[in-house]
């Protein structure tokens, strides 16, 4: 009995030691969640075997690097380890790396199936220096017969145009709430996680289409509280609770500025930054179906103006209080302001 207990404890420790975002990372293209049309194009490339140079752009955490790794695995099979060079943003990728490490790998001879090429994966390629990109352009030309390049980036416009013209550009978009929820449910079933519907909604709300963040928040919540509920998720994510923001908006809609400012000051005393508060405020307004359209448009305009000021450095309680006052003014009759 004791041996069984210790074995179960070791299994539980192994489960928590391996990040779920790696444990449940797709291996095949058919397992990738979302961006179905773009993934289908990659599946066609995997079947034909003639891969062009690629640029995959889109927000973080939606499967860009995973897609390239799955494509490389399906193209190269057993030769995957020898024929793939992956460089991340954490690596030094200046002009010397392009001239030496990348060029040496492109010159290396590897036995591959007919019609297949070596693959160099450059993650976060938009952070490469301009000089390194210029050097990479020439390398792509010289070794095009034996080597293909796959560049993953958040903003494709930061890649110089000569490289863009040599690549097929695939654009990824954020994942939908339904796609995130489906994947989270699969992981919860595999890991026997205790959860409720509000907890999953909170994970999806906090992730904003980012699968990596959703899975990481799920594992953090389970390891910290053993149960996925809305309150536990927002404690782990350290974001203002949307219910508090919703109540603040309700007071603003009624013109009750004192009550709205009281809730704002409560969030401020809890240590949330101006960026946290105003970002959550915008997301709650955007998802609110009870607000009239004209009122929602006015709220978004006011929130956008203050968000710009906050990002410029004016992160004070006075700035946020002024926003609350203007939101109250939107729904307060004009005669209340006449002298």
In this predicted structure, what is the pLDDT of residue 307? Answer: 92
Residue 52 sits in the same domain as residue 132: yes
Total domains in the chain come to: 3
The span from the CA of 296 to the CA of 317, in Å, is 23
Whether the CB-CB separation of 212 and 61 falls below 8 Å is answered with: yes
Residue 262 sits in the same domain as residue 310: yes
Residue 192 sits in the same domain as residue 149: no
Asked if residue 23 is part of any domain, the answer here is: no
Q: What is the DSSP letter of 32?
A: -
Whether the CB-CB separation of 232 and 221 falls below 8 Å is answered with: yes
Residue 45 sits in the same domain as residue 136: yes
Which of 115, 148, 171 delimits the end of a domain? 171
Nearest to 149 by CA among 22, 157, 25, 132: 132
Residue 74 sits in the same domain as residue 200: no
Residue 50 sits in the same domain as residue 137: yes
Mean pLDDT of 40-59: 87
Mean pLDDT of 251-264: 89
Residue 113 sits in the same domain as residue 95: yes
**Which residues have CB under 8 Å from 228's CB, separation 6+?**
188, 193, 194, 195, 196, 199, 200, 203, 218, 221, 222
Q: Residues 20, 23, 24, 26: what is their CA dihedral angle, to the nearest 10 degrees?
A: 140
Q: In which domain, by residue range, is 260 found?
A: 242-334
The span from the CA of 4 to the CA of 221, in Å, is 27
Residue 125 sits in the same domain as residue 220: no
Which of 55-69, 88-102, 128-142, 325-339 has the largest mean confidence?
Answer: 55-69
The span from the CA of 31 to the CA of 70, in Å, is 9
Whether the CB-CB separation of 164 and 198 falls below 8 Å is answered with: no
Predicted TM-score (pTM) of the model is: 0.79
Confidence of residue 185 (pLDDT cuts 50, 70, 90): very high
């Amino acid at each position: 009995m004791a041996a069984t207990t210790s074995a179960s404890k070791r299994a539980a420790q192994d489960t928590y030691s391996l990040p779920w975002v790696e444990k449940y990372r797709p291996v095949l293209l058919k397992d990738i969640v979302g961006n179905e049309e773009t993934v289908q194009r990659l599946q066609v490339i995997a079947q034909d075997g003639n891969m062009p140079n690629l640029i995959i752009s889109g927000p973080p955490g939606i499967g860009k690097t995973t897609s390239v790794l799955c494509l490389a695995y399906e193209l190269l099979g057993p030769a995957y380890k020898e024929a793939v060079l992956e460089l991340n943003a954490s690596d030094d990728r200046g002009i010397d790396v392009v001239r030496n490490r990348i060029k040496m790998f492109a010159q290396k001879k590897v036995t591959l199936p007919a019609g297949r090429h070596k693959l160099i994966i450059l993650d976060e390629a938009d952070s490469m220096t301009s000089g390194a990109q210029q050097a990479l352009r020439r390398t792509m030309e010289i070794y095009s017969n034996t080597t293909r390049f796959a560049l993953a980036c958040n903003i494709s416009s930061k890649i110089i145009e000569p490289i863009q013209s040599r690549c097929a550009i695939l654009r990824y978009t954020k994942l939908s709430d339904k796609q995130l929820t489906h994947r989270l449910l699969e992981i919860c079933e595999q890991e026997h996680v205790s959860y409720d519907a509000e907890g999953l909604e909170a994970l999806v709300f906090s992730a904003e289409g980012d699968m990596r963040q959703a899975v990481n928040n799920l594992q953090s919540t389970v390891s910290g509280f053993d149960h996925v509920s809305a309150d536990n998720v927002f404690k782990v994510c350290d974001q203002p609770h949307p219910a508090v923001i919703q109540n603040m908006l309700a007071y603003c809609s009624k013109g009750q500025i004192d009550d709205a400012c009281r809730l704002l000051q409560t969030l401020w005393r809890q240590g949330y930054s101006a960026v946290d508060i105003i970002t959550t405020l915008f997301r709650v307004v955007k998802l609110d179906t009870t607000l009239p359209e004209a009122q929602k448009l006015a709220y978004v305009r006011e929130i956008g103006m203050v968000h710009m000021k906050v990002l410029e450095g004016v992160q004070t309680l006075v700035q946020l209080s002024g926003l609350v006052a203007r939101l109250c003014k939107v729904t307060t009759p004009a005669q209340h302001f006449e002298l």
